[in-house]
């Protein structure tokens, strides 16, 4: 199939503008793992032309990386641009906290290389800023690893403009990863996208489907188990949930006029904001269905105005994803 592609600084091949997001594959906060389905999902994404996979150690406490390593055996690794992250540690009882000290940077890179069964990481990102470690120290440690050939490109996620500026003064920033979707726009549009344009970086939009809300399959009866992060996301609780579902219904009608699903509309909207890549989270092969619908078209100005009007009508005060921020270390 034909996919949109773009280049990322210091990565030697074009990447698909939809990347496979693998948080759910790790199982943690998504109801537990299902490895057989996860591997089939990864293979289905490759078959659909997706050559970019994004993961992180904290996704299942190493489990997502291990599953990806298994899925890419047998020559598949060479076809894939592989991105992971560092900077989050955890206790034995699975309490996550931020830690980007230089000594941990090197250890995390080595651990990810082992779990992913690869000699080099195409993209290593700092998952969350560590308020107790100077940004420049983390950047310097990553730049050393880049020069050693263990990583090709460097990115950050969930960083402020000030922290990104400090980081970029030490090491080249190829990517920035913010939460960004139709319902969660404020920080990305105010801070991240202007920085990316100015610094020749690419924005990797995580949560592009807003944790499944923009897949269009939820209704007022949808419930989430306690170990699913959506059980603590205020967007998925009353009374807010009903407002978001109403917006989704109107967005479905707009998408139908283009003979597209709302899922394709949501992804296309992210891609049209450029320089952007949308992370498509999936853990079952059938959740890859519809990727091709996001390519080969664009939203017009009237479409964008109508989308903004729908959001203003139903969700005038959108809830931002602050609930996901992990604490600083003690």
Q: Which sequence spans correspond to the domains of the chain?
A: 5-213+264-298
pLDDT at residue 32 in the model: 74
Arithmetic mean of pLDDT, 64-83: 96
Mean pLDDT for the stretch of residues 128-157: 97
pLDDT value for 229: 82
Angstrom distance (rounded) from CA 239 to CA 219: 13
Q: Three-state DSSP class for 181?
A: strand
What average pLDDT does range 289-316 have in this prediction? 95
pLDDT number for residue 1: 52
Q: What is the pLDDT of residues 90-134, one digit of tens each?
A: 998 889 999 999 999 999 999 999 999 999 999 999 999 999 999
Q: Could you give the CA distance from residue 250 to residue 256 in angstroms, rounded to a whole number? A: 10
Mean pLDDT of the chain: 94
Catalogue the active-site residues. Answer: 59
Q: What sign does the dihedral 68-70-76-77 (CA atoms) show?
A: positive
Superfamily covering domain 5-213+264-298: NADP-dependent oxidoreductase domain (3.20.20.100)
Is there a contact between 130 and 79 (Cβ–Cβ < 8 Å)?
no
Contacts of residue 201, defined as CB under 8 A and 6 or more positions apart, other chains included, come to 9, 155, 173, 174, 175, 176, 195, 275
Residue 308: the pLDDT is 98
Give the CA distances from residue 42 to residues 54, 125, 297, in Å, rounded to whole numbers and listed in that order.
11, 21, 25
Q: Residue 215's CB: how many other CB atoms inside 10 A?
A: 18
Range with the largest mean pLDDT of 18-27, 173-182, 280-289: 173-182
Reported as a single tens digit per residue, the pLDDT across 19-69 is: 999 988 986 666 777 889 999 999 999 999 999 999 999 999 899 999 999
Sign of the Cα torsion 183, 130, 114, 29 reads negative
To the question of pTM greater than 0.85 for the whole model, the response is yes
Question: Which pLDDT score is estimated for 137?
Answer: 98
Give the separation between CA 293 and CA 261, rounded to whole angstroms.
8
Lowest mean per-residue pLDDT among 30-44, 197-211, 274-288: 30-44
């Amino acid at each position: 199939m034909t996919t949109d592609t773009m280049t990322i600084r210091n990565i030697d091949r074009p990447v698909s503008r939809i990347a496979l997001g693998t948080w759910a594959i790790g199982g943690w906060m998504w109801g537990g793992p299902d490895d057989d389905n996860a591997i089939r999902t990864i293979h289905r994404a490759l078959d659909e032309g997706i050559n970019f996979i994004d993961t992180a150690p904290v996704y299942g406490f190493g489990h997502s990386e291990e599953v990806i390593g298994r899925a890419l055996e047998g020559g598949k690794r060479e076809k894939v641009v592989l991105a992971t992250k560092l900077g989050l540690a955890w206790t034995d009882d699975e309490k996550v906290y931020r830690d980007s000290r230089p000594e941990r940077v090197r250890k995390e890179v080595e651990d990810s290389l082992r779990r992913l069964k690869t000699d080099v990481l195409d993209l290593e990102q700092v998952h969350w800023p560590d308020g107790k470690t100077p940004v420049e120290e983390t950047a310097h440690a990553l730049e050393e690893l880049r020069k050693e050939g263990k990583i090709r490109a460097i990115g950050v996620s969930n960083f402020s403009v000030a922290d990104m500026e400090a980081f970029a003064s030490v090491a080249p920033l190829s990517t920035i990863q913010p939460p960004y979707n139709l319902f969660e726009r404020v920080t990305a549009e105010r801070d991240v996208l202007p920085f990316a344009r100015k610094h020749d970086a690419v924005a990797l939009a995580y949560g592009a489907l807003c944790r499944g809300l923009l897949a269009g399959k939820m209704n007022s009866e949808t419930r989430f188990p306690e170990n699913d992060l959506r059980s603590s996301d205020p967007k998925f609780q009353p009374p807010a949930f009903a407002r978001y579902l109403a917006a989704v219904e109107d967005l479905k009608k707009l998408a139908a006029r283009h003979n597209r699903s709302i899922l394709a509309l949501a992804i296309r909207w992210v891609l049209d904001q450029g320089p952007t890549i949308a992370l498509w989270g999936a853990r079952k092969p059938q959740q890859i269905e519809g990727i091709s619908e996001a390519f080969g078209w664009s939203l017009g100005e009237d479409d964008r105005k109508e989308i903004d009007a729908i959001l203003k009508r139903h969700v005038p005060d959108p809830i931002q994803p602050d609930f996901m921020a992990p604490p600083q270390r003690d």
